[in-house]
Amino acid sequence: MANPIALITGVTGQDGAYLAKFLLEQGYQVHGMVRRSSTESFERIADVRDQLHLHQADLLDQLSLVRLIDETQPNEVYNLAAQSFVPTSFEQPLLTGEFTGLGVTRMLEAIRQVGGNGIRFYQASSSEMFGSVREEPQTEATPFWPRSPYGVAKTYGHWITVNYRESYGIFACSGILFNHESPLRGKEFVTRKIALAAARIKHGLQDELQLGNLDAQRDWGFAGDYVKAMWLMLQQDEPDDYVVATGRKHSVREFAELAFDRVGLDWTKHVVVDAELYRPADVHTLCGDAGKAQRVLGWRPQVSFPELVALMVDADLARCQGAQP
Ligand code: NAP
Ligand code: G4F
């Protein structure tokens, strides 16, 4: 049998890089969608780039998506591309709505027009949809109450995925993933910001770390574990939606304490709270119940919270080695 074909949008992002590597290991022919830029942002996929088929297209350009599906003829489409940083969504709410919300409809329409019902579709939904949480832990049945333009756009993307499944019989799944991190996480997200700062301070490259809401709690897991759940969803007999989480929550303060401990420093001597980094409306706490993913997919997270912190700090320590102050 010929190798299955996967198309990943957002292949240059954190999850795209882990998923591309995972699918290559499973024997897939992997196609990645990248958007045109004056400088390439392929660092995260540099080690597998020669094994990937990269195509230029953009979530804003319907025709480019139609052409992409037609050219690649994928068996599975993983829609990971989005404007994914919550603070930017407050600054650019319309663009976020276009990328993160309407972009999903454009992708689904391209599949409907070109690929019929044979293509399996994964949508990267988010625990940000729970926002001001209605219950704890959050499950697939918990009502949404998003607290940012990003969360609102993801909620639209989630429901349009459900709608295309119900209206047109497309095999479309939505993974409601809680925060997942790694050494490939963007430097603006709080975990990577802390890990990198702890490493840089240890190496004498900076002195201080400015943070916002230290009391915010998140259910943090490892991105490498979470991309396997995406794949498992598309291997089932029936399409469905799944929460993917560890079931444990920790505060930003706890993350900072563990990260600085890892490098033998006292976090309280280096972290400064900057009110500018508070959000117009924050999500104060998130904690997921991945019971359905465990029962149906056989999925379980493998990396614990202390292991995740250590993994990220150690990677940034290695990156800082030899850097000039
Ligand atoms: P990420 O690192 O920010 O990657 C986002 C990707 O989307 C990048 O490859 C980016 O390309 C691409 N992109 C953005 N706008 C685009 C456009 N208009 N056309 C084409 N590509 C575009 O995000 P991530 O952490 O890997 O997350 C992957 C997905 O899961 C996102 O949809 C995110 O919202 C969602 N999610 C993430 C988490 C998490 O904790 N990581 C949790 C739940 C859901 P460039 O390289 O060109 O910028
Ligand atoms: O790391 P964050 O920016 O992630 P956030 O907002 O939870 O969003 C991430 O996870 C979502 C899943 O729930 C994804 F859908 C989304 O794409 C993204 O990957 O912030 C986490 C918390 C927030 O409450 C924030 O207020 O950390 C708090 N925080 C405190 N100081 C900070 C900072 N966040 C950032 N980015 N930078 C700070 O200095």
For the Cβ of 13 lying below 6 angstroms from any atom of ligand 1, the answer is yes
**272 strand-pairing partners:** 210
pLDDT tens string 102-122: 999 999 999 999 987 799 999
For the Cβ of 190 lying below 6 angstroms from any atom of ligand 2, the answer is yes
pLDDT tens-place values along the chain, 325 residues long: 689 999 999 999 999 999 999 999 999 999 999 999 999 989 999 999 999 999 999 999 999 999 999 999 999 999 999 999 999 999 999 999 999 999 999 999 999 999 877 999 999 999 999 999 999 999 999 999 999 999 999 999 999 999 999 999 999 999 999 999 999 999 999 999 999 999 999 999 999 999 999 999 999 999 999 999 999 999 999 999 999 999 999 999 999 999 999 999 999 999 999 999 999 999 999 999 999 999 999 999 999 999 999 999 999 999 998 776 6
**Domain layout of the chain by residue ranges:** 5-180+221-244, 186-218+249-285+303-320
Can you tell me the distance from the alpha carbon of 262 to that of 294, in angstroms, rounded to the nearest whole number? Answer: 31
163: Cβ–Cβ under 8 A, 6 or more apart, which residues?
none
Pocket test for ligand 2, best of 218, 257, 272 (most atoms within 8 A of CB): 218
For the Cβ of 89 lying below 6 angstroms from any atom of ligand 2, the answer is no
For the Cβ of 112 lying below 6 angstroms from any atom of ligand 1, the answer is no
User: Crossing angle for the helix pair 103-110 and 149-168, nearest 10 degrees?
Assistant: 20
pLDDT score, position 324? 66
Residue nearest to atom 23 of ligand 2 (CA): 216
Pocket test for ligand 2, best of 156, 190, 255 (most atoms within 8 A of CB): 190
Which ligand is nearest the CA of 68, by number? Answer: 1
CATH topology of domain 186-218+249-285+303-320: UDP-galactose 4-epimerase; domain 1 (3.90.25)
* Closest ligand 1 atom number to CA of residue 99: 18
Ligand 1: distance of its center to the CA of 10 in Å?
A: 5
pLDDT score, position 99? 97
Would the pTM count as exceeding 0.95? yes
CB 137 within 8 A of CB 289: yes
Angle ∠(176,141,168) on CA atoms, nearest 5:
70
Of the candidate CATH numbers 3.40.190.10, 3.40.50.1100, 3.40.50.720, 3.40.50.300, the domain formed by 5-180+221-244 belongs to 3.40.50.720
The pair phi, psi for residue 5, each rounded to 5°, is -110, 125
Pocket test for ligand 1, best of 84, 86, 156, 173 (most atoms within 8 A of CB): 84
pLDDT score, position 325? 65
pLDDT tens string 170-214: 999 999 999 999 999 999 999 999 999 999 999 999 999 999 999
For the Cβ of 268 lying below 6 angstroms from any atom of ligand 1, the answer is no
Q: Which residues are catalytic?
A: 126, 128, 150
pLDDT score, position 2? 86
